[in-house]
Structure 1
Amino acid sequence: MCKNNFPLYVTSEIGKLKTVLLHRPGKEIENLTPNLLERLLFDDIPYLKIAQQEHDAFAKILKDHNVEVLYLEDLAAESIVEKNIRENLIEDFLVEGKISGEGIKEALKKYFEGFNHKELIEKMMMGVRKKEISNVKMRSLADAVNRDYPFLLDPMPNLYFTRDPFATIGTGITLNHMRTETRNRETLFAKYIFENHPRFKDTDVKIWFNRHEESSLEGGDELVLSDKVIAIGISERTDAVSIEKFAKNIFRDGQSFETILAFNIPKKRAFMHLDTVFTMVDYDKFTIHPEIEGPLQVFSIKKSEENQLRIQEENATLEDILKKYLGLKDVTLIGCAGRDKIDAAREQWNDGSNTLAIAPGEVIVYARNYVTNRILQEYGIKTHIMPSSELSRGRGGPRCMSMPLVREKL
């Protein structure tokens, strides 16, 4: 726990990590098929057995460094022990799963009754194949259509990237509205956890952005650079208007943050989120994808009178912008794979710039990005190297797979 035993506290990217939320990949991965990859935002199908072994190695690194590791599936199950809460989650889940046929809805509710709380959460994550339920009564046109599609409820294979559905900032969270329907269902688990889990329900967890907003915001675009500065990507997955809504809410609350830096990054899959191309590894050192080192549009957002926002485009290099707002004399941008055009492109595809800091100058990285890892070490960064042959197929790195809940204040 952090100061005053508050269950959430994150005011930096690099403060010593105390508590983190993970999701161990489950059978939702085995419900991926080639025909569903685009729909479910995957480029390939990981081999679950090896992916779980790799994820366990990731968790072991964290635990070996005295980080409390919590699992999404456990917290969600512990949040629905009361009958009415469990029933509400099922109802919400079916609505957001686009289950409109009354016969199918009735059959799914009855099917879910047979699971205990943990099994129910895992089944929701896994998805429901049509062949699992044979007694659907056709009560409407909606019950009869789409007979060739193999699922009644789609699997949720992106869940092991716990960074995106919500983000801890200060003593609150952004409960995000995801860009795609495929991932927006994931945020339901966070909603029920923060409203009902004994660890959180009686605390004042502030919501800086809500999942019912119409514009999108995703956690991979949200970086807490210091207790004064937050960076957010305007990206393929996060809208500029969402950043303004978030800024107004967090400034209004009186948190310590004074500036939000909005990075306008290319809108393509290889640059999916800001943390795909830029992460903080030490007080004055950052990993970066060479392709965003050229002219990069950055806006500073500050609070002005009457809770309005003062927005200004920063006409300076990225190094100078970071020095200015973080109060640094020097900034080192460590290019993925040393900026080599071939090595950088290959390792960036495998999230070479996506690191998870567990303390200042100490990060977890993928083994396969060996060129970038060697360069980080040459800059004095301590690297904890984890296996990554299967987890990397989901297009996310160690930062993507983790949601810090508590970090020590720098």
Structure 2
Amino acid sequence: MTRPFVYSEIGKLKTVLLHRPGKELENLTPTRLKELLFDDIPYLELAQKEHDVLASVLRENGVEVLYVTELLKETLSQDENLREEFLSDVIKYNNITSKSLAERMKEYLRTFPTEEMIEKVISGVSFKEVNLGYSSLASQLRREFPFLIRPMANLYFQRDPMVTIGRGVTINRMSTNIRRRESLLMDYVYKYHPDFKKNDIPRYYDLEDPFFIEGGDVEILSSKVVAVGISQRTEPEAVELLATRLFQSDEPFERVLAFEIPESRAFMHLDTVFTMLDYYKFVIHPKLQGVIRLFSITPSKYGIHITSEEGEVGEVLKKYLKLPAIQIIKCGGDDPVVQDREQWSDGSNTLCVSPGVVIAYSRNYVTNSLIRKAGVEVIEIPSSELSRGRGGPRCMSMPIIREKID
């Protein structure tokens, strides 16, 4: 495997990271949906079939598909001490602070082969699985939720825990404790997997950094311009820190465009508001097109310089991407009812596999029809279950390598 290489949203996708949904979805409960960031409980068998269609479409388009669980297994299988270090971090990131409870949990997880241990960490460990006896007062008093280790139900949205930017990565500090553990998996892969560690891959953000940032808020618009959303999940301080590090690196990026997104479940990340389809074509939620505040961040002798941008999103993109024109396709078209409905089911969240070829949910048929009319090929995938987690094809995929574009 070569080192990461992503300088656009639309260059031909060569290698991508996925997570096939597993038993963690079956450990969702109605009373804990909000805590686990779900609105409904997907049916696992069908969700897996839908996800397999996504992977199949990617392979048919010449994309190498990697799975986070396989990479983590290859990483931890190298060294028993590394596996033990990982277990300690699992305990830490699950906020298990009782020493006796932590030891019991480690003892339990040590009994599994590496692959099964990883599955347990992701799917969750319930109180009834571990014989705690009366070793821990905390375990006796905190049984209101049946899991000692909570399920990583959001892990199939691989866009958020990390981002490939240029030849480096960010390992993100997620905004909620329930998702912060997801970044730990790729932290280990990039530190210790033989295919990654030998390349000395730079990190432009780390999960120990103090501010929240999630990958759905980061879009690499060109080799010069990165867009980052200031959202429900990404703090402005994180955007400044990321911009500073990019400008101090050897990367060619010259500008970070910061988009202030209203804090709403429907607009949780930048890529739920708009995504890039082709060199000058974007799909965007029309209700936000004229109300998003934009800021331009550039390097200066003092670190960074920030200016407020005036005008609609399309005009700002045209200006800084140095394009003669910008074509905006409205998610849901002109009907406000359809706009809201298809925005809710991620009509704006497409995954570009090559310039002018995107993957989208079939349920967003109005938006998909408009994208096709704009000259973009749309490959539709089913989504009755995957969409229940509030994320589309882009949310589910993390590009590792894209071909360079002109």
RMSD: 1.0
1:71-150 aligned at under 5 Å gives the runs 71-81=67-77, 82-133=79-130, 135-150=131-146
Retained in 1: the 8 A contact 2:7–2:221?
Answer: yes
Q: Which residue of 1 aligns with 2:283?
A: 287
Candidates 188, 197, 212, aligned match of 1:216:
212
Q: Partners in 1 of 2:23 and 2:59 — Cα distance?
A: 24
| CA deviation string 1:164-222 (max 9, x = no partner) | 00000001111100000000010100110000101101112111011112210000000
| CA deviation string 1:115-150 (max 9, x = no partner) | 1111111110000011111x2143343232213321
* Structure 1 position 357 matched with structure 2 position 357: no
* Structure 1 position 309 matched with structure 2 position 304: yes
Which contiguous aligned blocks of 4+ residues in structure 1 show a shift greater than 4 angstroms? none
Flag structure 1 segments of 5+ consecutive residues without an equivalent: none
* Structure 1 position 344 matched with structure 2 position 339: yes
Secondary structure at 1:158's aligned position in 2? coil
Candidates 193, 197, 204, aligned match of 1:201:
197
Candidates 253, 257, 275, aligned match of 1:257:
253
Retained in 2: the 8 A contact 1:103–1:138?
Answer: no
Report the AA paired with residue 66 of structure 1: G
Q: Partners in 1 of 2:388 and 2:23 — Cα distance?
A: 16
Candidates 50, 56, 59, aligned match of 2:52:
56
Stretch deviating more after TM superposition (47-56 or 309-318): 309-318
Q: Which residue of 2 aligns with 1:370?
A: 365
Report the AA paired with residue 289 of structure 1: H
| CA deviation string 1:44-89 (max 9, x = no partner) | 0000000000000000000011100000110011111110110001
Q: Partners in 1 of 2:272 and 2:137 — Cα distance?
A: 43
Secondary structure at 1:41's aligned position in 2? coil
What TM-score, normalized to structure 2? 0.98
Deviation at 1:108, TM superposition (A): 1.5
Q: Partners in 1 of 2:315 and 2:383 — Cα distance?
A: 34
Report the AA paired with residue 299 of structure 2: K
Q: Which residue of 1 aligns with 2:16?
A: 20
Q: Partners in 2 of 1:67 and 1:147 — Cα distance?
A: 44
Distance of aligned partners of 1:147 and 1:315 in 2 relative to their CA distance in 1, 3 Å threshold: closer
* Structure 1 position 187 matched with structure 2 position 183: yes
Deviation at 1:282, TM superposition (A): 0.4
1:386-401 aligned at under 5 Å gives the runs 386-401=381-396
Retained in 2: the 8 A contact 1:364–1:383?
Answer: yes
Q: Which residue of 2 aligns with 1:269?
A: 265
Q: Partners in 2 of 1:150 and 1:303 — Cα distance?
A: 49
| CA deviation string 1:344-382 (max 9, x = no partner) | 111110000000000001000001001111111111110
User: How many corresponding residue pairs?
Assistant: 404
Q: Which residue of 2 aligns with 1:229?
A: 225
Stretch deviating more after TM superposition (91-100 or 224-233): 91-100
Report the AA paired with residue 53 of structure 2: A
Q: Partners in 2 of 1:143 and 1:37 — Cα distance?
A: 22
Retained in 1: the 8 A contact 2:101–2:136?
Answer: no
Q: Partners in 2 of 1:175 and 1:113 — Cα distance?
A: 26
Deviation at 1:322, TM superposition (A): 0.7
* Structure 1 position 177 matched with structure 2 position 145: no
Q: Which residue of 1 aligns with 2:65?
A: 69
Flag structure 2 segments of 5+ consecutive residues without an equivalent: none
Q: Partners in 2 of 1:147 and 1:28 — Cα distance?
A: 19
Secondary structure at 1:157's aligned position in 2? coil
Q: Which residue of 1 aligns with 2:374?
A: 379
Retained in 1: the 8 A contact 2:290–2:311?
Answer: no
Q: Partners in 1 of 2:183 and 2:203 — Cα distance?
A: 13
Report the AA paired with residue 154 of structure 1: R
Q: Partners in 1 of 2:136 and 2:112 — Cα distance?
A: 27
Secondary structure at 2:59's aligned position in 1? helix
Retained in 2: the 8 A contact 1:222–1:230?
Answer: yes
Secondary structure at 2:400's aligned position in 1? strand
Q: Partners in 2 of 1:49 and 1:339 — Cα distance?
A: 36
Retained in 2: the 8 A contact 1:264–1:296?
Answer: yes
Retained in 2: the 8 A contact 1:28–1:126?
Answer: yes
Sequence identity (%): 50
